[in-house]
Structure 1
Amino acid sequence: MNEIMAAIVAVKALILGLGGGITYIAHRAYHRTGDPSLGLLRVGFGIVTFGALFTGAINMFYSVSLPLGVLVNSTFVAAGLAVILYSLYVQD
């Protein structure tokens, strides 16, 4: 494993930890309050976090091309951010 690959693994692990923490806190807040916007926030951050994990795994185990990996990761990020944005507009 070269230095770049090791750095990618480290950053993906950091994203997984931080995103998982945010998702968990949003999940707890949603169950405590029942606020639908917090439920959507949880889903949005979960999508972003899962996308980082998924694209990291396919890059490691299936050796997909860099452009395809970036496209897949960007798709997850865009979908997650769309859900997060929508969560900011949801009214009770």
Structure 2
Amino acid sequence: MYEYTTIIALANTATLVTGGLVMLFAHRAFRRTGATPLRAVAIGFGFIVAGSVLGGLVHLAGDVALGIAVQSSFTAGGFAALLYSLYSKTPRTTTVRTRVTK
């Protein structure tokens, strides 16, 4: 049962690091621009990363089936947020330029 524990731990660590960085950069971009799709991207990757970590912890606790269920549920929620980010509208801003003549 524990022959794949090291592989699972390494894969979950890689998911945590890379997904966490994508989540961090998307959140920074959202704060800089205020674009709601970027917030949804950060939330989506947050769900995927959280599911990977929680699923791995449940698996290490001994319940493999529950670990897979937790990870799959969070992954589905994360992909739903990513899908939302692709279809949500970014508010448009209008720049008005004026020219002063003498």
Q: TM-score, normalised by structure 1?
A: 0.90
Residues of 1 paired with 2:23 and 2:38: CA distance? Answer: 10
CA RMSD of aligned residues (A): 1.5
Higher gyration radius (CA): 2
In structure 2, the partner of 1:40 is: 40
Say whether 1:63 aligns with 2:57.
no
Residues of 2 paired with 1:68 and 1:58: CA distance? Answer: 7
Equivalence map 1:19-30=2 (5 Å)? 19-30=19-30
Residues of 2 paired with 1:17 and 1:34: CA distance? Answer: 25
Deviations 1:28-55 (A, max 9, x none): 1001100001011100000000110111
Q: TM-score, normalised by structure 2?
A: 0.82
The ranges of structure 1 where at least 4 consecutive aligned residues each deviate by more than 3 angstroms after the TM superposition are: none
In structure 1, the partner of 2:76 is: 78
Number of residue-to-residue matches in the alignment:
90
Residues of 1 paired with 2:27 and 2:52: CA distance? Answer: 19
